[in-house]
Amino acid sequence: MKFLHPSPKSSSRGITILRVAFGAMLLVHGVQKFMAGHAAFAASVAAMGVQKPDIIAWLVIAGELGLGLLLVLGALTRVAGFLAAILIGSIWFVTEAGKPLLTDASGVTAELLIIYFAIAVSLIFLGPGALSLDRKLAKQPARR
């Protein structure tokens, strides 16, 4: 029954897996938008009624790419988690706010955004996990 009481080392590895997977998903979303072209994504943002769609499109693309990369590397993890929570929360607000959580369709409305938001907030509290630049840099002795 050892698995019922994981060691700090295994918990830290689990956090690493969660952080890297979430960061990779953000990166994939950002790469898709970038490869499709800013104009195409800006047009879809404009269709949602968002003001300044050109600027917002760049911010979302840069946020997904930059924050995804930071999370995959485990650099500035708590800050990246906080900013990712703001990004995902903003996307939810624009795309899903006011819609019922349960509909005739299977699943929950915006469940992926809800999961992403929960992971981002969790990383603020949990930190980077075992394998990360944050951990590596924290173990470096101070230079004189």
Domain that holds residue 21: 17-133
Percent above pLDDT 90 for the chain: 61
Report the C-alpha gap between 16 and 96 in whole angstroms.
Answer: 29
Residue 10 lies in a domain: no
pTM over 0.95, yes/no: no
pLDDT at 72: 97
Is residue 50, in this structure, part of any structural domain at all?
yes
For residue 8, is it within any domain? no
C-alpha dihedral over 32, 38, 41, 47, to 10 degrees? 180
Examine residue 2 and state whether it is found in any structural domain, yes or no.
no
State the total domains in the chain: 1
pLDDT in tens, 28-76: 999 999 999 989 999 999 998 889 999 999 999 999 999 999 999 999 9
